[in-house]
Amino acid sequence: MAELNNLYACFKYLMMFFSAIIFIAGGVLFGLGLWIKYGTGSFIQAIGSFSTQFINIGYICIGVGSVLVVIGLIGCCGAWKENRCLLLLFFCIVSIIYITEVVGAVLIFIYKDIVESVVRNTSRVSLIHAYAGPVATDTISQAWNLIMLKYQCCGFDNYTDFTGSQFSNSTGLSYPKTCCVNLKEPACDGKNTANTIIHEKVGTMIVSAVLFVRIGQPRNED
């Protein structure tokens, strides 16, 4: 009997432990949602017409985080007070979440290439048709300048992304100054493409990190 009681106590505290993890995960998601909504003002301006989608992600994080916090509390309270109703409710909710996660993971795996293709195409379209240069004040240009300066990359794949672009056609340059390793280097003239002059780091992974955010499209299509 003593061994059975010890096993029961072990399950009880194990249940509380997993519930605490769910509670903490919910709190992290809730905090992330608040950060997206209130702490990313400049980035939201930079992504222009797709800012609504980014803000919606914040709302989703807040909503999901709140639900997880409640589920964690239900699990902890049910285990601590040994309440069968709360434990049954916890089990049903968690089962639904797990099924949803499995379905979501399968869908993401199936459509991963499609999502990556959409991100690549829309990002390159914004770079070719809307990027106006390092001193431009429009949100698309500022977004690309910020990415290239902060992550030390040049375009989406490399400097050849600017070939035939609005920027290249209007300035006659092969790349903007924000591609340069040293912005004050005299050889950084928009034509010298030596790997010691411009960044070779690929920006693909950087841009793909915001899979739910498509960085602008041409605002005016004549």
- Angle CA 143–152–35, to nearest 5: 50
DSSP state of 180: B
Q: Work out the average pLDDT over 175-187.
A: 87
Cα gap 146→191, rounded to integer Å: 21
Cα gap 12→80, rounded to integer Å: 7
Look up the pTM and report it.
Answer: 0.48
73-106 per-position pLDDT tens digit: 888 888 888 788 888 888 888 888 778 878 877 8
Q: Report whether pLDDT(132) > 70.
A: yes
DSSP state of 198: B
The span from the first CA to the last CA of the chain, in angstroms, equals 82
